[in-house]
Amino acid sequence: MKDEDIDLSDLPEIPPEAFARAVIRKELQPIVRQAQAKSKAPAALRAEARRRAALLKDVPREQLVARFVELGDEIRREAIRKGTTIDGDWTGD
């Protein structure tokens, strides 16, 4: 498929100001949002991940996988309850 084959007729018009905000930034510096500014530093995140991994080092892999699957199922059930997903069997990615 080529770019000219794509039908864009049903897309809304984008005002020039919105386009400018989305594309053009002075010297292409990333926009730092308040939530990003308050996040932990990468070194702190690595340290926390290592600390948590050390707590799980003696847990059998099968048990970790089972818990991971269980948590995924819990999240899916909650999403179904909230109506943010479609109920049905998961067939994978």
The pLDDT tens digits of the residues spanning 15-61 come to: 777 766 665 555 556 666 665 555 668 888 888 889 988 888 888 88
For 6, phi and psi rounded to 5 degrees?
Answer: -85, 125
Cα–Cα distance, 29 to 18 (Å, whole number): 18
For 72, phi and psi rounded to 5 degrees?
Answer: -60, -40
Indicate the pTM of the whole model.
Answer: 0.41
pLDDT for the residue 44? 85
Q: Where are the domains of the chain?
A: 8-82
pLDDT band at 10 (very low <50, low <70, confident <90, very high): confident
What's the whole-number mean pLDDT along residues 3-17? 78
H helices within the chain, ranges in order? 16-23, 34-38, 42-55, 61-82
